[in-house]
Structure 1
Amino acid sequence: MKTLKSIIAAFALVIVCGAAKANVISEGDNLTRNFAINTYVDAMTRGKIQGLGDVVDQSAKFNMLRGKNVLSFTKNEMIESIKSNKNIEQNCTTSTTIMESNADLAVVKVDMQFDGFVRTNYVTVANTGKGWKITNVYSVFK
């Protein structure tokens, strides 16, 4: 009986020590500016959509300028569209340029050079308090 009490006490001590040492990661800890942009680029160019829903703000707007028409999409519409290209790598060369950046907001230009045209995405990411999230994407085709 004494041995059983000792084992239970040791087990409880291990659990308490483990809980005290545990690193609690809040929702926004992994949502850095670079992580948000890299996740977006991976989704658009490589079809890797894992984590995309986490880095896009619920109120995000996606706009595409096609000729003289502006097409607008919500987060859900855009993610469904990207899901249709899951694991499909685009045949393009991609480059990113930080256009503006401060502690609260960044605008990043993502150029996707295809044969015959360029898709330029102006991606706005904001520090939402729950991590950096994409709040707006404006796409232009040239």
Structure 2
Amino acid sequence: MKTLKSIIASLALIIVCGAAQANVKVEGDNLTRNFAINTYVDAMTRGKVAGFGDVVDQSAKFNLLRGKNVLSFSKSEMIESIKANKNTEQNCTTSTTIMESNSDMAVVKVDMQFDDFVRTNYVTVANTGKGWKITNVYSVFK
């Protein structure tokens, strides 16, 4: 009888533990606004490509203002560029400032302070229904 109680208690414990871990992660569960921004900063400043493609929306546009010229890039072009600079640590100090934020979108200013210039990135992230994703980045150099 004592053995039967032990077996039943063990089975109950296994069922409870299994039910507690039964939450299946949906793709966008970990795609928070902060995760998207941190992944962007890691990619741009440290060359960390892991997860970058996941936080960028398929229709995202990347624009760089160089003098009077605006250069535009797609998601695939940016991923290719970041992969080419994989694990390259930029010699800069980075800071982020939330310029605007609500439940649907946010605009975050990412300043990359180098010795001779500052690269300011205005990163727009949106709650796409599949998590927060980068939809637009506009970069200026000062």
TM-score of the aligned structures, taking structure 1 as reference length = 0.86
Measure the CA separation in 1 of the matches of 2:88 and 2:74: 22
User: What SS is found at the alignment partner of 1:29?
Assistant: helix
Structure 1 runs, 4 residues or longer, greater than 2 Å off: 17-21
Aligned counterpart, 2:44: 44
Match of 1:6 in 2: none
Distance 2:86 2:21 in 1: 38
The letter of the residue matching 1:110 is: V
Partner of 1:53: 53
User: CA separation in 2, counterparts of 1:42 and 1:61?
Assistant: 19
Aligned to 1:24: 24
Q: Give the Cα separation in 1 of the matches to 2:25 and 2:73.
A: 32
Change (3 A) 1:19 1:81: same
Q: Aligned partners of 1:35, 1:127: CA distance in 2, in Å?
A: 12
Are 1:124 and 2:124 counterparts? Answer: yes
- Structure 1 residue 18: deviation in Å? 3.5
Corresponding position of 1:82? 82
Determine helix, strand or coil for the equivalent of 1:135.
Answer: strand
1:20 CA drift (Å): 7.9
1:93 aligns with 2:101: no
Which residue is 1:112 aligned to?
Answer: 112
Aligned to 1:8: none
How far, CA to CA, are the matches of 1:36 and 1:20 in structure 2? 28
Cα distance in 2, alignment partners of residues 137 and 123 from structure 1: 4
Q: What number of residue pairs does the alignment pair up?
A: 131
Change (3 A) 1:21 1:38: closer
Distance 2:108 2:137 in 1: 10
Cα-Cα RMSD: 1.8
Query: Quick one: distance in 2 between partners of 1:119 and 1:18?
Result: 49
Equivalents in 1 of 2:67, 2:141: separation in Å? 8
Counterparts of 1:83 and 1:114, CA distance in 2: 21
Report the identity percentage: 88
1:100 & 1:21 partners in 2: Cα distance? Answer: 36
- Stretches of structure 1 lacking an aligned partner (at least 5 in a row): 1-10
The one-letter code of the counterpart of 2:106 is A
Q: Deviations over 1:56-81 (max 9, x none)?
A: 00000000000000000000001100
What is the CA–CA distance in structure 2 between the aligned matches of 1:83 and 1:139, rounded to whole Å?
A: 19
Q: Which amino acid aligns with 1:57?
A: D
Pairing 1:139–2:139 present? yes
